[in-house]
Amino acid sequence: MVKIAGLASNRGRNLLHIADRMPGGAELSIVLTNEDGAPVLEGASERGIPTEVVTRDEGESRESHEERILETLDSYDFDIVCLDGYMRVLTEAFVDNAPTTLNIHPSLLPAFPGMDAHEQVLDSGARMTGCTVHVVTEEVDAGPIVTQEAVPVYEDDETDDLKKRVLYDAEFTAYPRAIRWVAEDRVSVDTDAETVEIEGDTGGDFPQRRLVSDDLSNTLRYGENPHQDGAVYADGTCEEANVVSAPQLNEGAKALSYNNYNDADGALNLIKEFDEPAAAVIKHTNPAGCATADSLSEAYDKALRTDPKSAFGGVVALNRECDAETAEQVVDSFKEVVVAPGYTDAALDVLTDKKNLRVLDVGELGEISERLTEKPIVGGRLVQERDLASPSIEEFEVVTEREPTDAELKTMKFTWQTLKHVKSNGIVFASGTETVGLGVGQVSRVDAVELAGKKAGRDAEGKSAEGAVMGSDAFFPFPDGIEAAAEAGIEAVIQPGGSVNDEDVIEAADEHGMAMVFTGMRCFRHD
């Protein structure tokens, strides 16, 4: 266990925070101050941490004072020294005779060293500041950097505002991180070269720390529900077509809501899957229908007819410039948002005639460039690669006695591309390159199958599950899902495979004359 000797002249809030957090199991073995009555003494005593006061005598040299500090510390067991608002510049006498000593400075060094860092930041007009944990050397605030944490500077900031934000949002994150790295024996300090290396802190897709700097794009009327506040932030570095930076072409319409942004993003990501003209209708982040066809209007018609009832009030996404014919179909029933890479003038005349239909132009779809996606959770955020995998037909593994036809293989490919955007447990019934029925967000896979069959039979217009293909985003744990699919009229299945009961599932498919392929990968979507 790493033990810390903490030196502070005042409140020592970082030291007390480290004592409470015990990053990497590290603990404070002593808190020493050079000021009688320093508030840090009470905080340390409340936590059962031994304390010492070593004041500098009148006329005493700095070197002599530091020698007495070292003598006092010598009776305690510690591996590292941590400074926190210690208002004395350490001399060679201390630096050379104490273990590695860390300090935290309230700016992003080398910018704004020394005293009054916050005032320096505000006077400079800088829009970003933060804190720096560095190794202490004889030169003030010039030692090698261990870690930093950034925070924004707001236009109306005053010194106290900035000081509080740097402490709570930066220092309380960066100092424990540095201590944890020390406790994990990942910090190597070369005192001669004045360098620091952190084992594993090599960047890449998943670096040891992530700095996120987005700009407020807009405040929202509310979040998911009216009692929740909401806002949307923009990543100015994103080059991929997206709904955050897309201009709203009908200026008189109300602004996008939190849910509009969420649904529009999901819809846009779905139609990016396809090279052919494609359309999707999204409701509550799930597809109500999706299709590709020779023309955009035909693709939209097929997508809508999957479940026109659920499509009411949904979000439409198109992967081609919207023409007047497609626009007329879109406005034939109530929609919240339409997203497309451009619109003809005639299409805009039709769409903007609807007062509260938000029309977004995301520009040319281009290449998919954003590789990661993230989900904030309480206490942090989950980060992963986007699911950009798309197994080819040649990679499908046929596992049944009957092989799928060429038409079924094409439908399987379409089904899998759509499945990636369906909330798990997810099932898609499809015919040709259009959805027939969807079972979304179920806790039971057989329930999802039964729901897809029910939707296909009850809500789809001019469609049927008879002879359709079924896709599943994960393996079937039991044959009951295949039995339910056969009852609905399914004749071919695409699924990941990998269940301990695969043989039973394949046997059930063979009994019903189904063709079935395994992809060898699943496509869960849980949010």
Q: How many CB atoms lie within 10 A of CB 272?
A: 20
**Residue 460 φ then ψ, to 5°:** -75, 140
**Residue 261 φ then ψ, to 5°:** -60, -45
CA atoms within 13 A on the CB side of 190: 7
Angstrom distances, CA of residue 381 to CA of 263, 374, 525? 21, 7, 16
Helices (H) and strands (E) in the chain, counts: 16, 24
Q: 361: closest CA among 347, 371, 375, 372?
A: 347
Measured N-to-C along each axis, helices 480-488 and 445-458 cross at an angle, to the nearest 10 degrees, of 10
Q: Which two tokens stand for residue 323?
A: 């023409």
Q: 431: closest CA among 488, 387, 369?
A: 488
Q: How many CB atoms lie within 10 A of CB 169?
A: 16
Angstrom distances, CA of residue 379 to CA of 19, 173, 198, 372? 19, 12, 24, 20
Can you tell me which residue has the tokens 């010039």? 142
Ramachandran quadrant class, 12 (left: phi over 0; alpha: psi -120 to 50; beta: rest): left
Q: Which two tokens stand for residue 308?
A: 């026109």
Check if the beta carbon of residue 311 is closer than 8 Å to that of residue 304. Answer: yes
What are the DSSP calls for 462-513, one per residue?
Answer: S--STT-EEEESS--SSTHHHHHHHHHT--EEEE----TTHHHHHHHHHHTT
- Going through 206-334 in order, the beta strands assigned E by DSSP cover 215-220, 230-234, 278-283, 286-292, 314-318
Instruction: Kindly name the residue from 17, 105, 118, 134 that is annotated as catalytic.
Output: 105
CA–CA distance, 328 with 324 (Å, rounded to integer): 6
Taking CA 99 as the corner, what is the angle to CA 98 and CA 102, rounded to the nearest 5 degrees?
A: 100
DSSP state of 25: G
What are the DSSP calls for 128-173, one per residue?
Answer: EEEEEEEE--SSTT-SPEEEEEEEE--TT--HHHHHHHIIIIIIHH
Check if the beta carbon of residue 469 is closer than 8 Å to that of residue 415. Answer: yes
Question: Would you call 284 a catalytic residue per the annotation?
Answer: no
Burial 24-43 (b: 16+ CB within 10 A, else e): bebbbbbbbbbbeebebbeb
Burial class (CB in 10 A: 0-12, 13-18, 19+), 321: middle
Check if the beta carbon of residue 318 is closer than 8 Å to that of residue 359. Answer: no
Q: Which residues are catalytic?
A: 105
